[in-house]
Structure 1
Amino acid sequence: MSKSVKKVVLAYSGGLDTSVILRWLQDQYGCEVVTFTADLGQGEELEPARKKAEMMGIKQIYIDDLREEFVRDYVFPMFRANALYEGTYLLGTSIARPLIAKRQIEIALETGADAVAHGATGKGNDQVRFELSYYALKPDIKIIAPWREWDLTSRTKLIEYAEKHQIPVPKDKRGEAPFSQDANLLHISSEGKILEDPAVPADLDLILSRMVTPESAPDKAEEIAIDFERGNPVAVNGEKLSPAALLTKLNELGGKHGVGCIDIVENRFIGMKSRGVYETPGGTILFAMRRAVESLTLDRGAMHLKDELMPRYAELIYNGFWFSPEREMLQAAIDHASEAVTGRVTAKLYKGNVIVTGRSAPKSLYDADIVTFEEDSVYDQRDAEGFIKLNALRLRLRGRLLGR
């Protein structure tokens, strides 16, 4: 892109890649750099990122705690849709990118920056997610994607560049990392290197950091209860919690019992397949128990329509279209359906499983008087004959034409 950039807001973690990017931006563009580090519950100390940015001469440093906003305004709306990408992935990385991008654009407006930059590679989905969000929120923004521009194509070259420019390189970064991880409050993803061959079983004892394996989980089940209001979880075991605190609590419970690890091969938006191991303990509990309260409170037609819309909604988030009009349209319908989703669900956590044991709701559509196997006065079983014959009419007509 044009080198005429005055000030750029960099999504900055303080790690090797983004520290090299920081200096590279200064060298290649001769511009002022503003760093932005988002606390999304990744579980890392973020102050070292500030110190590293200061050491590299950065004057405007943003470190923002976005955990509550992340869960309240991004994770919970997505879970109201029961979103699963390709039937398995709870979209833990995908849903974090639009929030990071939104805050970058806000900082650009606050500081008068004319560009934003990210550290996503040219092979992955994140470059698309970041940049679609940037353009949706500020159509004239300039975007710098160093991995698509520079010739630092290996870890060795990154380390050489860092050493040349006196950028500290931690000892654990000098060796070849066995896999790459990305974490936030919803999940931890592990990809690459030793995980690239989908035929080779993942060494979960090496990889897992938020949860134990099901084999290592306690031999005794633990009972939990979640209260929902208008589609969102609000309490665990009777204790009211904020969105971020609630998800943190579910992560602890799920992690203890080996809940929420998947090993999948997924289709990236850019066209290639990738293998990843994802840890989503709290989200896995939430998904199962939320569906349970919906089973009581959603009409059959509404529930089935939601299930039809879900793959499209999930694909939009995976592909980076959070700020698109079609996602907002789907969200409006999903949120309308969630108005009645209030109630309590109980479950047992046991060796990787979430076993729903009970559900109740003040506006439940479940009527014991109708479904009972005992004698009742509200349902005339003879009505079923006409219902069946009407539904069979087209099948009978077709059968006659086929000579049956």
Structure 2
Amino acid sequence: MGVRFWDESVKIASEDVKIEFVQGRPVSINGKSLEAVALMDEANKIGGRHGLGMADQIENRIIEAKSRGIYEAPGMALLFIAYERLISAIHNEDTIANYHAEGRRLGRLLYEGRWLDPQSLMLRESLQRWVASAITGEVTIRLRRGDDYSIINTTGPHLSYHPEKLSMERTEDAAFGPGDRIGQLTMRNLDIADTRAKLEMYASQGQLGDGQFQLIKEIEAE
């Protein structure tokens, strides 16, 4: 599917591609609506022209032995870039953390052939209902060689990122500005001061030595 992007004699021109998602599902490429199989085929062709999604990995097998594999998934890599961009633009930090944790667990179950196990169904339902359902929008990506790309534009009806509301510059009617940031840093410093006091307490009790923050003995019973 992919070209020899590591070979400098292979000419690869940059290319812009626009991916659209509706409720977590890719529905069009470059403005052309496609059903699932045709869309993946088109994504493979586009990504393959640039050598996107090639990986040389040394990994763990289920039999607890190491193996080396050369993987090629240009279409999945292309869709993944766009999907992750929308995830980061729409959901908050904690939701994204849960999405990554549950995604890794689901990936492991899939690797073990447990796609229809109850735990897989639970994870899939959670991710589809609370994460994917909000992923509607378009991402424009400029592809170059291999995994070298730039995100050109991100749009959608549910983006949490609003530059006009959050700016460190002089933005009229901004909900958050430089003055607010100073106040936030002041409040954050309270916790840092508390932590410093605890470190000084640990040092006075002999738990820290030589500034290395290494536990050197248990707290003596009073």
Report the TM-score range of the alignment, normalised by the length of the smaller protein: 0.7 to 0.9
2:56, 2:69 within 8 Å by CA — same for their partners in 1?
yes
Cα shift at 1:303? 0.7
- SS of alignment partner, residue 38 of structure 2: helix
Alignment partners' CA distance in 1, 2:161 and 2:2: 36
Cα distance change of structure 1 residues 220 and 291 upon mapping to structure 2, 3 Å threshold: same
Q: 1:348 to 1:393 in 2, by over 3 A?
A: same
- Structure 2 unmatched ranges of 5 or more: 205-210, 212-222
Aligned twin of 1:321? 114
1:396 to 173, 191, 196: 196
In the TM superposition, residue 389 of structure 1 has moved relative to its aligned partner by 3.1
% of aligned pairs identical?
A: 29
The equivalent position to 1:352 in structure 2, one of 137, 143, 146, is 146
* Offset of residue 378 of structure 1: 2.0
The one-letter code sitting in structure 2 at the alignment partner of 1:283 is M
Question: Which structure 1 residue ranges, 4+ long, deviate > 4 Å from structure 2?
Answer: none
TM-superposed CA distance for 1:348, in Å, is 1.4
Instruction: Assess, with a 3 A threshold, how the Cα gap between structure 1 residues 237 and 309 changes in structure 2: closer, same or farther.
Output: same
Residue 233 (structure 1) shift: 0.8
**Does residue 374 of structure 1 match 2:169?**
yes
CA distance in 1, matches of 2:82, 2:111: 23
Q: CA deviation at 1:373?
A: 2.3
Give, in whole Å, the separation in 1 of the partners of 2:127 and 2:62: 24
TM-score by length of 1: 0.46
> Are 1:298 and 2:94 matched, yes or no?
no
Instruction: After superposing the two structures, state which structure 1 stretch, 296-305 or 366-375, moved more.
Output: 366-375
Are positions 1:226 and 2:34 aligned together?
no
Aligned equivalents of 2:39 and 2:13: distance in 1?
23
Aligned length: 195
CA contact (8 A) 2:12 2:50 kept: no
Deviations 1:149-170 (A, max 9, x none): xxxxxxxxxxxxxxxxxxxxxx
Alpha-carbon separation, structure 2, partners of 1:294 and 1:311: 16
Partner amino acid for 2:146? G
Bigger RCO of structures 1 and 2 (CA < 8 A, at least 6 apart): 2
Q: Distance in 1 between matches of 2:40 and 2:159?
A: 26
Map 1:4-403 to 2 at 5 A. 210-214=1-5, 215=7, 217-335=10-128, 336-353=130-147, 354-376=149-171, 377-379=174-176, 380-392=180-192, 394-401=194-201, 402-403=203-204
Give per-residue Cα distances to partners, 1:310-359, cap 9 Å, x unaligned.
22221111111111111111112211211111110011121112432221
CA distance in 2, matches of 1:272, 1:261: 23
Q: Could you tell me how far apart the structure 1 residues matched to 2:191 and 2:164 are?
A: 26
* RMSD of equivalent CA atoms: 1.9
Deviation at 1:217, TM superposition (A): 4.8
Q: What letter corresponds to residue 2 of structure 2 in structure 1?
A: M
